[in-house]
Amino acid sequence: QVQVQESGPGLVKPSETLSVTCTVSGGSISRYSWTWFRQPAGKGLEWIGRINTSGSTNYNPSLKSRVTLSIDTSKNQFSLQLSSVTAADTAVYYCASPVAVGGHWGQGTLVTVSS
């Protein structure tokens, strides 16, 4: 079955760019749309955006000006970049596979924004 796993920097300084990558295993990334979420500690889930293998994207309007999603089918990976980060961007970032292949979420990667 298709599994996903996030990898990220752990710590990012304010005003810098956060980058997180999701690696897909057990199947090809070359179909469907792939989605990013985040969850600040003790708070609810937030949908960040999705990308399909044609490169078409949808973004959360509240993050749209700072978010860029990309996909690398040769590596079976998709990535998230969030620019001009502040402490409010401190969260666990999750990627998830599409429902058609199980809708599995990764274990998440905690990204802390701090100087």
Partner 1 sequence: QSVLTQPPSVSAAPGQKVTISCSGSSSNIGNNHVSWYQQLPGTAPKLLIYDNDNRPSGIPDRFSGSKSGTSATLGITGLQTGDEADYYCGTWDSSLSSGVFGGGTKLTVL
**Contacting residues toward partner 1, per CB under 8 A:** 35, 37, 44-47, 49-50, 58-61, 94, 96, 99, 102-108
Q: Which of 85, 104, 112 is nearest to 8 (CA)?
A: 112
In the complex, what is the shortest distance from the CB of residue 47 to partner 1, in angstroms, rounded to a whole number? Answer: 3
In the complex, what is the shortest distance from the CB of residue 49 to partner 1, in angstroms, rounded to a whole number? Answer: 8
- Three-state helix/strand/coil letters over 54-115: CCCEEECCCCCCCEEEEEECCCCEEEEEECCCCHHHCEEEEEECCHHHCCCECCCEEEEECC
**Which residue's CB is nearer to partner 1, number 74 or number 107?**
107
Which is it for strands 11-12 and 109-113: parallel, antiparallel or unpaired?
parallel
**Which residue's CB is nearer to partner 1, number 16 or number 60?**
60
In the complex, what is the shortest distance from the CB of residue 11 to partner 1, in angstroms, rounded to a whole number? Answer: 21
